Structure 1
Amino acid sequence: MTDRPTDLSSLPSFQPPRRSLFSARKFALMASVVAGLGVAVYGFGTANGPVDLFSSPAHAQVNNEISKVAQPVGFADIVEHVKPSVISVKVNINEKVAKDDSDDTPFQPGSPMERFFRRFGGPDGMPPGLRGMPRGRGVVTGQGSGFFISADGYAVTNNHVVDGADKVEVTTDDGKTYKAKVIGTDARTDLALIKVEGGSDFPFAKLSEGKPRIGDWVLAVGNPFGLGGTVTAGIVSASGRDIGNGPYDDFIQIDAPVNKGNSGGPAFNTNGEVIGVNTAIYSPSGGSVGIAFSIPAPTVKNVVAQLKDKGSVSRGWIGVQIQPVTADIADSLGLKKAEGALVAEPQANGPAAKAGIESGDVITAVNGETVKDARELARTIGGLAPGNAVKLNVLHKGQDKVVNLTLGQLPNTVEAKADNDNDNGDNGSATRGTDVPKLGMTVAPANSVAGAGKEGVVVTEVDPKSAAADRGFKEGDVILEVAGKSVTNAGDVREAINAARSDNKNSVLMRVKTGGMSRFIAVPLAKG
């Protein structure tokens, strides 16, 4: 067992297993090997006469070389080097007795992991493999995986593995058990840093500097179902996956079998470097179906450095609600490509609002680096430290401009508060609105409908077979702007739509408020 990352550059390159060579290829290889031995091949003989390839001294060496080429290459060498760095993590959590066990889940209501499992796990928010486990009955134990990142005992695992733990123990590959303490956690990326006590020469893994390619081999090592020390192999299936876990989703998707208990374990490349931390699976049945998600190594490296330094993570913040630029939105704004991040609404007194960024602006670059979509903007800004000065390229009312601002610090909780006027339960459905031709909805001035606020027009009825319904409009939605112009009645809406048609627009962009959240919706325009 080594206490330093092992240089695996001397190991043989790992290749996919191959079937036995065809006879023709085998014969060609035999001929090339014989030639390499210095035998002058001419047909089936040499200058001194015919050579019997199947009884000559060269025959044994030929077959030896062929067997080396044809034999499938496994992962045993790399596993031998990396497996000692992987640990099993066991936690004890003292829980209060739940009032209703049927609704109890291992994740806080509304948390990123609870939302993820409601989407990919089950309707009750529980991972399928955890359903039926006793919850809320005194001490609850849980198990996961992790791996050392330094010889002095620092190790990485998932936040959801150690979240709320009163006691943490780890078991190393050689069967020894140690106590550990949580140094810091980051719920937004589901990462945690722990410190294992009682040793100073632990074997550790190295985080990869590069980005894996789709199709690269990957090895997952962890503690599935508490078995410990389990290795599975697969490939990188995809990258940049958004699974609804949070604004910084950028998961690597792998098909190496990962099950309950693998959470927090490493995914290795064939150089023995960690390319990601396994954190979630897609599993209708509760077992592996070949779709697992890993947090990329660069994210791990950045988060772990901050956790080690101060026990928490600070992220840059500009204070905007953003959304993707779809093809329809791009057409409405006159953009050539559906790229960038559309500002639905700047938050009051936030850095963006103070710098003059407005609703409808499209952020296209940060410090000269192109922003492809809203998620990339969130990741880029979140990866910068508060207090940094940044330069944003912004498309403002059809004109490009540069905005300079200083990043604030992302609040621990960012809540979208609904307008108090909307909390009385009256969505205005009792008010008869005015029809908006060819969109399939009726609207009324917001100030004439109780609970709709004072700005814009409220949607009072939506034809379920209309373009408006297809775009997600519902009764009670408040339309604030149409084609960049504020609207206060149905006439304003019709006028803006007619102007868009006159400009040969295929769709018209509307800014819509639902509760306290604003967003832009591109509604296709019927011709004529």
Structure 2
Amino acid sequence: MFYNKNDRSPLKSILKNSTAAGLAALMLSAALPAMITPAHAEAVKVEAPQVPSFADVVEAVSPAVVSVRVQSDVQPASDESGFNFGFGGRDFDELPDDHPLKRFFKEFGAPGQEGRGPEGHAMRPPRDGGPERHGKLRPTSQGSGFFISKDGYIVTNNHVVADGAAFTVVMNDGTELDAKLIGKDSRTDLAVLKVEEPKREFTYVEFAEESDIRVGDWVVAVGNPFGLGGTVTAGIVSARGRDIGSGPYDDYIQIDAAVNRGNSGGPDFNLSGKVVGINTAIFSPSGGNVGIAFAIPATVAKDVIADLMKSGSVDRGWLGVQIQPVTKDIADSLGLAEASGALVVAPQAGSPGEKAGIKQGDVVTAVNGETVKDPRDLAKRIAAYAPGTKVDVSLWRAGKATSVKVDLGQLPNEQEMANSTGQAPEEEEGTATEQALANLGMSVTPAEDGKGLTIVEVDPDSDAADKGLKTGEKITSVNNQAVATASEITKVIDQAKKDGRTKALFQIESDSGSRFVALPINQG
């Protein structure tokens, strides 16, 4: 490159000491003065969101979480074909050496033994998934659990251990320990196991308080999905107070952490390492995780677990009435200002509620002054009292508020309740003259037993059809007044209209039991 040595201009001086690459960069800069040069550019900076790490929580709580293996006692049984592996009381070794079965099993493995096939592969008797026939304990299920005390008490689900005869817990480090069942409660799906290791103190976790469980909070689920052992997933509390129809005390936390089969009984932790819920169910069309799991709240579990640890069972108060929700239509038919409380379909014979004077058609509005929102709320409130407790039950009866004193009984176990619950007898279609109730969209006839009226026809376009009334069902009362003819129904409805009501409350009996239905009465 040539230049004038007497030329002292800055550009010439720079060119003199520049490389070809530097010259190109300089020329580009001069040609495009508006372009930002590297010397003036700044790197893009983005503030990283403060997403929490769960590592500290997981490290702290993992030693307290266990896998629960359950074995059931399976009795010996003959093969369906009549062939018994005992060979009619003769042992395998007692068979003659030339017996074809002995030659077969000697080559391929006798029942319960391993043999070798033609290629040297291990062979076992075919298993079709049915029970083994050796009268031994057989693994039947796997779930999760967690220590709640240093002396070895473990919480899990009732459905994990329900049919078990022996229990083994597998700790985070692989240690296997035998456990015994202390108690279980099917109504809340909780159970307590105990590991007897007097010289050992176990890492354990605590339950969160009510104020520690909020919708939107992070949760960490630790458990044993698909039998894989300690697995950690994370999500948030999606909702609270879920009723999934599993029982009268449904009050589940819904979470979106990945929960699968085997996670049952496993804990959900908040970021403080406290248990906010115990996994018990998932909603899944496929059987796998779809982001909707349900956990028993810590606030519910604490009291139940305390009772199980103390006595092996849970004692609950019992009112003894069949109840249903109060809908807006039912509230209108009864003259209630709002649709709340629990409508008494029928008190059980001999129950504390019947003895105290609670009647069919009453609405329970409060217990000891605390408002009852719905049947589930009533069930939980009554169950929270110890048997023998005297409570003040507020009622709405015949358009007026009243109250009764009830000495609560002991809630029967599920078998006792099933034995004492009778279904309504099957009704045969009556032969008396049908009587039309055109304004209600149905025709009725007096019941054969003289108690109520049998529905013989329902207009498919009527409110009665919309409310689910069907042919063959029986109307036993209207607005809590017994009826035996269509004219009596009409009389009750006319009085309701005079009282300014727009609906009437019909009590319906069917093969599945009794229920109340509110029908509009302001037509025609």
Q: Determine if the TM-score, normalized by the shorter chain, exceeds 0.5.
A: yes
1:468 paired residue among 434, 442, 464: 464
Q: Is the alpha carbon distance of 1:419 and 1:260 closer, same or farther for their aligned partners in structure 2, counting shifts above 3 Å? A: closer
2:71 paired residue among 88, 92, 99: 92
CA contact (8 A) 1:418 1:516 kept: no
- How many residues align? The count is 430
1:381 corresponding residue in structure 2: 382
1:40 corresponding residue in structure 2: none
1:233 corresponding residue in structure 2: 234
1:505 corresponding residue in structure 2: 501
Point out the more displaced range, 362-371 or 491-500. Answer: 491-500
Deviations 1:377-429 (A, max 9, x none): 00111121101111112112222223212110011131364467x25xx5317
1:141 corresponding residue in structure 2: 140
CA contact (8 A) 2:423 2:513 kept: no
> Aligned-pair distance for 1:143?
0.4
The residue type paired with residue 75 of structure 1 is F
Deviations 1:470-505 (A, max 9, x none): 112122322111122210111111222233334342
SS at match of 2:210: coil
> Aligned-pair distance for 1:219?
1.2
The gaps in structure 1 that reach 5 residues or longer are: 1-53, 102-131
> Aligned-pair distance for 1:137?
4.9
Point out the more displaced range, 347-356 or 492-501. Answer: 492-501
CA contact (8 A) 1:98 1:135 kept: no
Q: Distance in 2 between matches of 1:454 and 1:277?
A: 52
SS at match of 1:438: helix
The residue type paired with residue 66 of structure 2 is I
Deviations 1:20-47 (A, max 9, x none): xxxxxxxxxxxxxxxxxxxxxxxxxxxx
Q: Distance in 1 between matches of 2:466 and 2:515?
A: 16
> Aligned-pair distance for 1:268?
1.1
SS at match of 2:289: coil
Q: Is the alpha carbon distance of 1:432 and 1:194 closer, same or farther for their aligned partners in structure 2, counting shifts above 3 Å? A: farther
2:116 corresponding residue in structure 1: none
2:489 corresponding residue in structure 1: 493
CA contact (8 A) 2:185 2:191 kept: yes
- Structure 1-normalised TM-score? 0.76
**1:261 aligned onto 2:257:** no
Deviations 1:199-249 (A, max 9, x none): 531111101122411111111110000111111111111111111111111
Of structures 1 and 2, the larger Rg is shown by: 2
Q: Distance in 1 between matches of 2:63 and 2:430?
A: 64
**1:295 aligned onto 2:290:** no
1:163 corresponding residue in structure 2: 162
SS at match of 1:469: helix
Q: Distance in 2 between matches of 1:327 and 1:442?
A: 25
2:518 corresponding residue in structure 1: 522
Deviations 1:228-275 (A, max 9, x none): 111111111111111111111111111111000000001111221111
CA contact (8 A) 1:235 1:256 kept: yes
Aligned-CA RMSD value: 2.7
CA contact (8 A) 1:431 1:460 kept: no
Q: Distance in 2 between matches of 1:419 and 1:277?
A: 35
The gaps in structure 2 that reach 5 residues or longer are: 1-38, 81-126
Q: Is the alpha carbon distance of 1:510 and 1:80 closer, same or farther for their aligned partners in structure 2, counting shifts above 3 Å? A: same
The residue type paired with residue 417 of structure 2 is V
SS at match of 1:414: helix
> Aligned-pair distance for 1:198?
2.6
Q: Distance in 1 between matches of 2:195 and 2:66?
A: 10
SS at match of 2:240: strand
Q: Distance in 1 between matches of 2:432 and 2:342?
A: 36
1:459 paired residue among 455, 459, 471: 455
CA contact (8 A) 1:427 1:475 kept: no
Q: Distance in 2 between matches of 1:148 and 1:179?
A: 14
Q: Is the alpha carbon distance of 1:464 and 1:429 closer, same or farther for their aligned partners in structure 2, counting shifts above 3 Å? A: farther
Q: Distance in 2 between matches of 1:346 and 1:436?
A: 30
CA contact (8 A) 1:432 1:460 kept: no
1:366 corresponding residue in structure 2: 367
Identical positions, percent: 51
Q: Distance in 2 between matches of 1:166 and 1:266?
A: 24
Q: Distance in 1 between matches of 2:340 and 2:421?
A: 29
CA contact (8 A) 1:145 1:222 kept: yes
The residue type paired with residue 134 of structure 1 is G
> Aligned-pair distance for 1:317?
0.3
Report 1:262-281 matches (<5 A): 262-281=263-282
Q: Distance in 2 between matches of 1:136 and 1:98?
A: 9
Report 1:74-153 matches (<5 A): 74-95=53-74, 134-137=129-132, 139-153=138-152
The residue type paired with residue 276 of structure 1 is G
Q: Distance in 1 between matches of 2:210 and 2:423?
A: 46
Q: Distance in 2 between matches of 1:327 and 1:155?
A: 45
Point out the more displaced range, 393-402 or 336-345. Answer: 393-402
2:194 corresponding residue in structure 1: 195
Point out the more displaced range, 501-510 or 364-373. Answer: 501-510
CA contact (8 A) 1:280 1:294 kept: yes
- Structure 2-normalised TM-score? 0.77
SS at match of 2:440: coil
2:180 corresponding residue in structure 1: 181
Report 1:12-23 matches (<5 A): none
Report 1:322-401 matches (<5 A): 322-401=323-402
